[in-house]
Amino acid sequence: MSSPPHHEVAAYALGLLDQEDNEVFERHLVECVDCQTELTELADVPDLLDEVRNKRSPIEGRPG
């Protein structure tokens, strides 16, 4: 892992961490209230990004 687990909250929320980094972050998350709070705040982001992606026209790549 190139950065401390405390800085991996967004990547974790988006499912971007590899297996090793994911495991390290999850161990960190158990004890870090700041990261737990930040993760809760980011919980809707993946779904919101999916909504935006689904609203784009597949042909033009622009909003439909």
The pLDDT confidence band at residue 1, using thresholds 50, 70 and 90, is very low
The CATH number for 5-55, chosen from 1.10.10.1320, 1.10.3720.10, 3.40.50.10860, 3.40.50.620, is 1.10.10.1320
Q: Per-residue pLDDT tens for 23-50?
A: 999 999 999 999 999 999 999 988 888 8
Map out the domains of the chain as residue ranges: 5-55
Cα dihedral 39, 45, 46, 47 sign = positive
Distance CA(27)–CA(33), nearest Å, equals 12
Question: Nearest to residue 14, comparing CAs of 52, 61, 50?
Answer: 50
How far is it, in rounded angstroms, from Cα 10 to Cα 30? 16
Question: If you average pLDDT over every residue of the chain, what do you get?
Answer: 84
Q: Model's pTM, two decimal places?
A: 0.69
